[in-house]
Amino acid sequence: MPINILMPALSPTMEKGNLAKWLKKEGDKVSSGDVIAEIETDKATMEVEAVDEGTIAKILVPEGTADVPVNQVIAVLAGDGEDVKAAASGGGASAPAPKAAEAPKAAEAPKPATAPAPAPAAKPTASAAPQPAQVHSNGARTFSSPLARRLAKEAGIDLSRVTGTGPHGRVVARDIDEAKSGKGLKPAAAGGAAAPSYAPGPSDAQILSLFNKDNYEAIPHDQMRKVIAQRLSASDRDVPQYYLTCDCDIGKLVAAREEINGLAPKDKDGKPTYKLSVNDFVIKALAMALQRVPDANVTWTDEAMLRHKVSDVSVAVSIPTGLITPIIRSAHAKSVATISNEMKDLAARAKARKLKPEEYQGASTAVSNLGMYGMKQFTAVINPPQSTILAVGMSEQRPVVRDGKIEIATIMTVTLTCDHRAMDGALGAQLLSAFRLLIENPVMMVV
């Protein structure tokens, strides 16, 4: 029988992707392991390999299609010895479609104002597991899908105020999308503690009405920008963040860097085998600081604190469509030269959108450096589930007072953003102090 080729989930958080390019066409034979398509996620462009052998009978989703939900049928494969025409006409119908309650709303086509109301989802069978419910302080229970609960949390919406349209009044994803615009929201609870509510911002139509349409160009958001907006909005709303700032005298580091780069061995083409940057030392120093203050090398979860044994440091890299954070794994155990070369490779592949998910997911901290843009000081937003991020400003010569005398020193200002759930101020200060000691005395990074 025909084999349905589904839109794959290329990372744990992927809900949809863009089908960038088909590398096979209808009628082509494929073997297991053959690369058949390129998929764009919010972070990278990845190749999709065939799992089964056969002939591409029909392509259902053309290349260039955006926001294709995970598990949607994108093509039909005819098995060996199977009639290709029959497979093309009969394939796709039996594909496991995403459940209506959990399909991402953003992937649905917008409905005109006159469209009929969506049909209710099929009733669960008697053997279905009971739906999870949220119990509120007034004793009321709100049944909801896992996706609806996550979307409500990200949007700051109280589930008890949402009118559910799923089976038996269950709150589903489409209800949360309606609630964002104020539709289907019940009045806030009277008396006692006020129920949390969500105050939606102005609609697109309201914003567009403020401007002359001849004076702007509407550029649709790509998937990366949408995910950045979603994740960092959730971070700013849900993660209690505080900021610690200190000035670091990096005169010794600058001198050591120049000497090390000047003595770097040459390859067969006469080029230095490495060229260290200040940012390479920053990565190393932060990684070693986390080892010296292990209680700060953590990730918060609702059930437990994850204390990491290694220092995996992600580094913000700007690319034309947004931002991505490739990771230097076990940076505390690597030389600065190794970190430098790895960072150059990761940054190049990040800009080409060729990183694998494991190369940009799973760090406990991050570095964001805007010094090359002339920024003296700034604060950065934590990228959940990380607990810290270090914002690095430019290094410059400033007057300082030493032993009652004014001297000129090379100073770099850094700001550490911390998740207050995971660490209190004193612990964050210990981490930043450990970083400062190392960055001001780079010789300590080799012992």
Read off the CATH number of the domain in which 401 is found: 3.30.559.10
Maximum Cα–Cα distance across the chain:
90
Q: Any idea what DSSP says for residue 326?
A: -
Q: Is residue 269 located within the same domain as residue 386?
A: yes
Question: CA of 435: how far to CAs of 1, 224, 274, 312, in Å?
Answer: 61, 32, 24, 15
- Predicted local distance difference test score (pLDDT) of residue 129: 40
The verdict on residue 318 lying in a domain is yes
The three-point CA angle 334-339-345 to 5° equals 140
pTM of the model: 0.64
- Predicted local distance difference test score (pLDDT) of residue 120: 44
Contact indicator for 137, 193 with CB cutoff of 8 Å: yes
Contact indicator for 219, 321 with CB cutoff of 8 Å: no
Q: Is residue 152 located within the same domain as residue 196?
A: yes
CB within 8 Å of 128: residues ≥ 6 apart: none
Q: Is residue 244 located within the same domain as residue 377?
A: yes
CA neighbor of 440 nearest in space, from 290, 278, 314, 332 = 278
Q: In 3-state terms, what secondary structure has residue 410? A: strand
- Predicted local distance difference test score (pLDDT) of residue 400: 95
The three-point CA angle 15-223-371 to 5° equals 125
Q: Is residue 205 located within the same domain as residue 231?
A: no
User: Mean pLDDT of all residues in the chain?
Assistant: 83
CATH number at residue 40: 2.40.50.100
The count of domains in the chain is 3
Measured distance CA(386)–CA(315) in Å, rounded: 12
- Predicted local distance difference test score (pLDDT) of residue 403: 92
The verdict on residue 126 lying in a domain is no
The structure tokens listed for 7 are 């839109």
Domain boundary among 181, 215, 249: 215
Q: What is the pLDDT along the chain (447 residues), one digit of tens a residue?
A: 788 898 888 776 677 888 888 999 888 888 888 889 988 876 677 888 888 888 988 899 998 888 888 888 999 888 877 777 777 776 554 444 443 333 343 434 444 444 444 444 444 333 334 444 554 444 456 778 777 787 887 777 887 888 888 776 778 888 887 787 666 666 654 444 444 444 556 788 889 989 999 999 999 888 788 888 888 888 988 899 999 999 999 999 999 999 999 999 998 888 999 999 999 999 999 999 999 999 999 999 989 999 999 999 999 999 887 889 999 999 999 999 999 999 999 999 998 888 888 899 999 999 999 999 999 999 999 999 999 999 999 999 999 999 999 999 999 999 999 999 999 999 999 999 999 999 999 999 987
Q: Is residue 203 located within the same domain as residue 234?
A: no
- Predicted local distance difference test score (pLDDT) of residue 8: 86
- Predicted local distance difference test score (pLDDT) of residue 155: 75
Domain boundary among 28, 57, 90: 90
Look up the domain containing 201 and give its range: 132-215
CA neighbor of 382 nearest in space, from 234, 248, 279, 283 = 234
The verdict on residue 101 lying in a domain is no
Domain boundary among 193, 215, 237: 215
Contact indicator for 335, 342 with CB cutoff of 8 Å: no
Beta partners for residue 398, in sequence order? 409
Q: Which residues are part of the catalytic machinery?
A: 420
